[in-house]
A and B are shown apart, each in its own frame.
Chain A
Amino acid sequence: MHTFRVIIVLLLMVSLPMTGKAAPVTAAKADKCPVCGMFVAKYPDFLAQVIFADGSHVLFDGAKDMFKYYLNIKKYQAAKDLSDIAFIYVMDYYSMTPIDGRKAWYVIGSDVFGPMGRELMPFVQKADAAEFMKDHFGKKLIRFDEVTPDLIKGLD
């Protein structure tokens, strides 16, 4: 099973630069979040992923840690640049499927907590996010570009 997974990852690494399209990955048991150091496979519901153009990827146990990484990438991976990022995936709260992180809607201040506490809950549609805000007392609905280091700090 493990070798199978390795083969898949290798295949992905080889094929990705050619196609230029990066499919979301699933977390392996040993994958750790580079921001908090926790194993991500335990929290598949909150999985966030950054996939680089060279096919490598980093996984996070929540959108919050993904933003911490994204907003300060040099701290975690000096060799990489924001322009190296091909895709960002986050988990849609209702369907639990990976969605494009740059186009997602994020709700902050809700009563749903992730493995790292207060979270930005991602949604593929605005209507879903609005419904979630009502059900779970969300405070603010934001887009990807509106996330700032100060806002993330406010969540911690």
Chain B
Amino acid sequence: MRALEKQRNILDFTLSSLGRRKGKNIALVLVYTFVIFLLASVLFFSHSLKKEAALILQDAPAMTVQKLVAGRQDLIPTHYIDSIRQIKGVQSVAPRLWGYYYDALSGANYTLMVNADLNDRAGEIVIGNGVSWRSAAGKRNQPLRKNEIIPFKTYDGSALSLKVSGLLPFASELVTADLILVSETDFRKIFSIATGQATDLVLQVRNAKELPVIATKITQIHPDTRPILREEILRTYDAVFDWRSGVIIMVLAGVFLAFIILAWDKATGLSAEEKREIGILKATGWETTDILLMKFWEGAAVSLMAFFMGIFLAYLHIFLASSILFAPVLKGWSVLYPHFRLTPYISGYQIATLFFLTVIPYTVATIVPSWRSATIDPDSVMRM
């Protein structure tokens, strides 16, 4: 109990001593907070992106088969389905129709995808949130609503007006923002794609161990195709997001270096004033351990305060303010994402990583020089 009381007294003294050098300490906390804010933002952002991608891909087909022409993806004939279905272990094969549509009116790229639910309701579309804002040209302060019409220009030059019959849910805005679901007839009309052709084929395979064998067999039967496994897509996403957060971390490295110099300077070189303080404390009967304790509390107070403020600000920045600072680097090429928000996702692992990268080294760095000056004779310190 007495030990606890002693800690409390020392902490009390530390805080009032910090208050005495207000300007310097506030500046330090601000810079510190800023660095943690940036680091935490990068961590949160890239993790949420990866999480979002994983969320989407968990329902992705086990294997996608594309046709290649001169190394580029081309439409795949749907009669390939029959031969692929014969392969042992393949549960089902289904054609998919999807593509990108550039809307000259709004200057945005939409992703068009055929949805079987719409097949008997030709002329209707279901749109994502971003599309509803973009297409409402003219009355920009309000999104498109049900039963309004989006005009499309088909690839043979004629016009096709499709009625909005619903909006997509917000579950994952990053993916659904630019998405438009259309019926098969309308899709073929817009892009002039003949029946008997599809964008790609998706396979369901019950036994994941068979995937490589099935992929090999497909390339043997149809040498002009490329099977893509779900794991490969996941790996690509991971690499892309890692690369992008890598770009930001490179930029941040400069900031971090500046912080290290600041922290090092502040922590290792005690100012004459602080040295005198230590001298006086020793002269009034403080022991070296008490002084070290005081310095430990000082470092902990400064870094913890900055740590929590930085994390809090980063959370606001990423999940509430649409990551304004990083948006240009981390998002794709599409112009459709002004409002997109990530689903908040933070793990204890991330917080712990940040904590051990910043708070712990700083606190430790403040103790060493104090120990050095605390062991000198108080008389000589005070004379300096």
Contact = CB atoms under 8 A, between A and B. Distances in A.
A128 B206 contact: no
Interface residues of A, number: 11
Contacts of B210: 93-94
Most buried by A among B88, B89, B207: B88
Nearest to B216: A135
B235 interface: no
Interface string A106-141: 000000100000000000000010011001100000
A94 B88 contact: yes
A136 B206 contact: no
Contacts of B206: 94-96
A94 B213 contact: no
A61 B210 CA distance: 19
A96 B213 contact: no
B209 interface: yes
Interface string B63-101: 000000000000000000000000011010000000000
A93 B217 CA distance: 17
A134 to B, nearest CB: 10
B273 to A, nearest CB: 64
Interface string B174-185: 000000000000
A96 B88 contact: no
A114 to B, nearest CB: 10
A45 B213 contact: no
A95 B209 CA distance: 12
Nearest to A96: B206
Interface residues of B, number: 9
A131 B207 contact: no
Contacts of A128: 88
A112 B213 CA distance: 12
B209 A112 contact: yes
B83 to A, nearest CB: 15
A132 B87 CA distance: 11
Contacts of A45: 207, 209
B209 A132 contact: no
A96 B209 CA distance: 11
Most buried by B among A112, A131, A135: A135
Contacts of A135: 88, 213, 217
Nearest to A91: B207
A128 B213 CA distance: 14
Contacts of A132: 88
B185 to A, nearest CB: 35
B249 to A, nearest CB: 37
Contacts of A94: 88-89, 206-207, 210
A45 B210 CA distance: 12
A45 to B, nearest CB: 7
Contacts of B213: 135-136
A135 B90 CA distance: 14
A98 B353 CA distance: 45
A28 to B, nearest CB: 22
A39 B91 CA distance: 28
Interface in B208-230: 209-210, 213, 217
Contacts of B217: 135
A112 B217 CA distance: 17
A24 B207 CA distance: 19
Nearest to A132: B88
A132 to B, nearest CB: 7
Most buried by B among A94, A95, A136: A94
A117 B346 CA distance: 40
Interface string B241-259: 0000000000000000000
A131 B88 contact: yes
Contacts of A96: 206-207
Nearest to B213: A135
A136 B212 CA distance: 11
Interface in B137-181: none
Nearest to B208: A45
17 contacts: A45-B207, A45-B209, A93-B89, A93-B207, A93-B210, A94-B88, A94-B206, A94-B207, A94-B210, A95-B91, A96-B207, A112-B209, A131-B88, A132-B88, A135-B88, A135-B217, A136-B213
Interface of A: 45, 93-96, 112, 128, 131-132, 135-136
> Ordered nearest first, which 6 A-B pairs have the shortest CB separation?
A94-B89, A96-B206, A131-B88, A135-B213, A96-B207, A94-B88
